[in-house]
Chain A
Amino acid sequence: MIELINLYKTFEERVILNNISVKIEEGETFVIIGLSGTGKTVTLKHIAGLLEPDHGMVVIDGISMSGSSERVKNKLRSKMGVVFQSGALINWLSVGDNVALPLREHKRYPEAEIREIVDEKLRLLKLYEAKDKMPSDISGGMKKRAGLARVLVRNPKIILYDEPTSGLDPVMSSRISQLIVQMKNEFGVTSVVVTHDMNSAYYIADRIAVLYNGEIVQCDTPENIKNTEHPVVRQFINGSLKGPIDVD
């Protein structure tokens, strides 16, 4: 279970997260939507322990991520994977070596076994042909999938996705959404997904939280979000120009 307790974060005196509290249950797929620049990535980075809140905290399975030593954080991170917005592949390693990196660095398995695991995940994400390519030679969508493959090889119990379907074609996008659901059904993975893709959100989410001006203005099932009365949420999901959100 992931608990955000009164998470408060400012950057240069600008409030980004204003006392956010939410409990994400084990095995839940929790989707965060919101305008660009509202702090969705910042929220994920707090959960991953990459940013420290000004006050409040993130608690994962009863252990506080915020303010903990690097040892404790690494212990929590060992069951966690993050799919970054840009893929975040190490630029001087090939796709295959990137995916193998976490296994090789921690020497969990013999090399032959590592290769097998890597090949399996690359095939799953239709990346096997790109195995020996460098990150600079593949498309944005492929980078993102390679980032996902690198997460999957570690069999995490918690996966944080930062816009996993943006920059993918509609078919691949559905494939990733399906994969997220599959991870949950087969392995009981808890997922926190930041997305702008409403179709994907409705399909994968158990609950959707709408982040606006540093606060969660609504957090509910996809059904209730679809039929929301909240003016901000309505405008956001319909992508309308008229409403309380200032578009200029």
Chain B
Amino acid sequence: MDLRLWYESRLAVEFLREGRAQSLLIILGVGLGVAVIVFVLALISGLQDNLIERTLGTQAHVSLQAPEEAVRVLRDPAEVDIAAQAVNERAQRLRSVQNWQALVAALEGESRVTAVSPVVSGPAFARRGQAFESVALLGIDPARYAQIVPVQEDMVAGEFRPTANEVVIGNVLADKLGVEVGDRIRLEGTDARAGNFQIAGVFSLGVRDLDERFVYLPIRPVQTLLNLPGGVTSVDVTIDEIFQAESFAEDLRLRFRVNAESWMETNEQLLNALRSQSQSTNLIQVFVGISVAFGIASVLAVSVVQRRREIGILRATGSTANQVMTVFLIQGGIVGLLGSFLGSLGGLGMVSLFTALGARPDREALFDVTAGAGLVMGAMLLATVTGILAAYFPARRAAKMDPVAAIRDE
């Protein structure tokens, strides 16, 4: 058999062209189904990407921390004043990640790692006159940190430039303390360690908790304020493949014996929600796909009956049953291909319209239309295969048709 199927394709195309209204109707029907699928998928995946992007916008993919302190029950009463009567979970004090400089160097050597940022953080109070707020100090290397959380993009005043005596705070905190860029605040850390700092910039990350509590400084002053000389409380890491974060964290746990936590662990609920959302869109896809398949199958079944006589002629003039079958399979494929092409355009058009209507200048677009190319290719491939499969039963009927009966009636 000639794999190019020129003869069969020619018959398929001419049959479809001859049954113009019928062909057009079914192609539009397929198009409608595909448009719904493309629209729903594009929108959902756009929303999901957006949600993940937002979540990861203020978070590292993997965060390495000092292992939690275990309680040691002391056996030697000579070492303590009173023998322990009950074992209580130990209050966790700030501890440094062991040997973090070497860890940072090792992580930077990893091919999957895109950014590494050591952070020293802990609780403190911010004071300005009578105002008194509980805050979280974040001692960072601004250049490294900015690669993970791009605070510089969310500045509402001043610059993201913490120095030895300048801090960057969130807009909610700034409001509560009643300060502006250039004003000074007092930060009080552990063991009555305190210092005065000038406001270098005010950010708004869009997450109230962070905008209310985060105070950025360089690493060294925070080490001093929190009484953690030379230490950092975490090493934050981003990697190239966000969904590899958990396996990467596992890898780090084994190799470096550190306490590594991935964003996927911390956001398990979000991921579960996204997964069940994906499942329901899959279900929609399956049902739309099935109704498209039934549409194609029923129209082709009608067409097989209508073309009884012509099938008989084809058989009498030397066409094999397989050739006749192929003609109808190709018709199914063409209907699927053309329908899904139109449907994809329609679906993407609907998404664009939807995005344009919901667009706000302060928000990123929900969906990037250029990202739809893969989706369209997938939809077209799937619809073409569906078309061919749907055509199977009508095509088999055509192939089995008795040529004598087909020619006899007039």
A binds B: no
Q: Which residues of A contact B (CB under 8 A)?
A: none
Q: Which residues of B contact A (CB under 8 A)?
A: none
